[in-house]
Structure 1
Amino acid sequence: MKATPHAVAAGVAAGVAVSCTPFLGFHFIMAFCLAFILRGNMIAAALGTGFGNPLTFPLIFAAAYRIGIFLLGRAPERVGEANLFTLLRHLVFAPLWHPILKPILVGGLPLAALCGAVFYVLTWQGAFACSSSEESGGDRKFQMRRRREDPPKNLMSTRGVATNS
């Protein structure tokens, strides 16, 4: 990926941060918008959204919910299992807003900021290390292969050229 360490890190951070929000189905679009604002790489933003996946969403949403009820200053509320499935089946979200969705949204924002910042720092360090090793010639196999593929400079100057001797 040809990008600056900041662009790669900002893209990954945007994708990771957006993955901490409850807007499933809109993570790519939101990550691209945030990466554009942060001058991040779009491919890195798309890859960063992989942070939110079926294995991590339960953990992310549970943490966001706990943070949200803490920030809102209220106790967790229960929604009956049968009631929840009925509401989701009929796509009725209004009764879910107060007990579930609002705390997840409110708690997801600081969680997104924290995860995005952590991944920015880690990705920037990794991207910087990779870019500096490429500049200093850290990949010996690549350098050897490149030397074999480059034509000798003196071969080009002596072929087909008549000399005045």
Structure 2
Amino acid sequence: MFKRRDSRSILRIVTEAFWPRGGWVRAAQYVKHRMRRLPGTPEQIARGVFAGAFTVFTPFFGLHFVVAGLLAMVMRGSILAALLATFLGNPLTYVPIAWISLQTGHWMLGTSMRGSLDDSIFSKFGAAAGDLWHNVIAIFTPETAHWDELHRFYDDVFFPWMIGAIIPGLICGVICYYLSVPVIHAYQKRRTARLRKKMEKLRAQAGAAPAKR
């Protein structure tokens, strides 16, 4: 009942993750359209946008929705707006976001990133995932758990990224907040005016209709 009529292949799923159907411009327009129609005051919606924009700079991949929603709840912002704003982070923006957060984190900690960006993220992430998988297997076998690559990933990538996400995340969040408030306010004002005009037109039509005997 809930299955897609056209089942997608793995290649198509991966391709659409990097380039959605209709392109990123259409996807951005959809998010903007949904954002404008969200319930709540402009400030409440903008606080949700702030939460989502801040979250995309953090290294909590797979948990961005959860982190953005919790942050929006604490800020008394729109949770739906926060979830929509996390789409600022996508396969086209994650590389510059990662680079900015990592560089900022190492600068704040007084350390330096060892190796290139690819080596710091993909290679170390793969090595850490290998250690994690080995340790899971070690629970059920006589193998000895290894933690070296996991420690290296935490020290070189995850912790600097988490710390470095604070400054650029705040900057991006504040910019998105102050850009969102006037746009949402203007849209809600125009929408209210259109609805009022429509209601007045319906009343006029009802008053002009001949009364039934």
TM-score by length of 2: 0.64
Distance verdict in 2 for CA 1:51–1:83, change over 3 Å: closer
The counterpart of 2:51, out of the listed 14, 23, 29, is: 14
Question: For 1:112-140, what per-residue CA distance to the aligned partner results, in whole angstroms no more than 9, with x for missing partners?
Answer: 111111111111121111122234x2x49
Aligned CA-pair RMSD:
2.8
Tell me the equivalent position of 1:86: 127
- Residue 32 of structure 1 deviates from its aligned partner by 0.9
Tell me the equivalent position of 1:96: 153
Percent of pairs with identical residues: 25
Question: For 1:34-72, what per-residue CA distance to the aligned partner results, in whole angstroms no more than 9, with x for missing partners?
Answer: 111111112111100101111111111100011111111
Unpaired runs of 5+ residues, structure 1, are 161-165
Q: Which amino acid aligns with 2:61?
A: L
Structure 1 residues 13-92: aligned runs within 5 Å: 13-78=50-115, 81=119, 84=124, 85-91=126-132
The counterpart of 1:114, out of the listed 167, 171, 181, is: 171
Distance verdict in 2 for CA 1:83–1:13, change over 3 Å: closer
CA distance in 2, matches of 1:144, 1:35: 34
Larger RCO, structure (CA 8 Å, separation 6 or more)? 1
Q: Which amino acid aligns with 2:161?
A: I
Question: Which ranges of 4 or more aligned residues in structure 1 deviate by more than 6 Å?
Answer: none
TM-score by length of 1: 0.80
CA distance in 2, matches of 1:68, 1:61: 10
CA distance in 2, matches of 1:71, 1:95: 18
Unpaired runs of 5+ residues, structure 2, are 1-37, 133-148
